[in-house]
Structure 1
């Protein structure tokens, strides 16, 4: 498939692409260390207060080889934070755009819920918030709202954003703004996830992406993901 030419839309033109003035966030996941415990999925839901049916981090199980020489591989799948994101080019209201730190984000106040971006994402990394919640299963669930993008939204059930809009992994922007790593990385019991700044040549991620074992999902699409995997 030919590489797509994508215009990055942003309300802050000076922050539309990663520069040396900003960190350039990336993630590396070592598949040999991932044990498929789903702690990243649970930590992400707890941190971002995502509703039923919305999971920013999932672990896909794949079987490789031929019988009887087969093995199971766990492939965690957050948002790829593509440098050439198809989700951005299809948004009719410029609600989704790429930040200066390399993270693709969504302006929930501009999102009209058309879900074009969900269809355009080749990684299945976007979800729609239909307004469901865990109030029956979890006491006090609605008392603390999602901290995404540093904004505390109103009580769920009021049918205001993020209800009725698209949601996705943001590398926990509210945490990175405080100098913390994403919740999925902090809780990974196998230490399979690495997070850091590609602008820093001495960072762990900068060194790992140059490892011969490193690869990215569906690279043939030309999306230039910011999530690398180690075979």
Structure 2
């Protein structure tokens, strides 16, 4: 069963340097940029926010699609790191949790939330907040850590077991504290249903980081991996192939 710990900002303040996580993950970073550009191509927005955006990794990209961008991040340490990343830009930095967004009703035209869902076993409060702050017709891009990726789907089929509909804990080491942050993968269909209940309707989806494998990274140059990534993101989304599914949603 999934972990149900409460999310609090200080869980991100325990000596972990998230900027280091992205060392040697150029392929994954580029794959996510490709996905966002594809989902937002030809569109422009007034006001946008990247929810749980860490040190601002995606904010500069979002600024090319929106007149105003806010990095909405719960961890003070991440916001401190973002000062250097976002130096010289007009991107606003604000400390807030995804389930308690400090925006007015309908204030935003675009919301992104990437690499956050794997910390949220039960996302109803977060989805309700995203829906609340979006203007009617506004767009949300939400990335979901996908339990039903190709390897898991193949394994479950071989064992004759259905994929779980509930989130699944993927923590590999014992939690160091009772309120340690959760690490889960989700059932995409379940998440889409939860989003619909919050008033967010699925428009399209992409399968992202389809070649996320240390073995592949050692075999193929990044340029080749990204060529394959571009060619497969839409095609493989039909079967939720990859470890990361990007959902594009619209508020009714």
TM-score interval for Structure 1 and Structure 2 normalised by the shorter chain: under 0.3
TM-score, with structure 2 as normaliser: 0.26
Structure of greater relative contact order (alpha carbons < 8 Å, 6+ residues apart)? 1
TM-score, with structure 1 as normaliser: 0.27
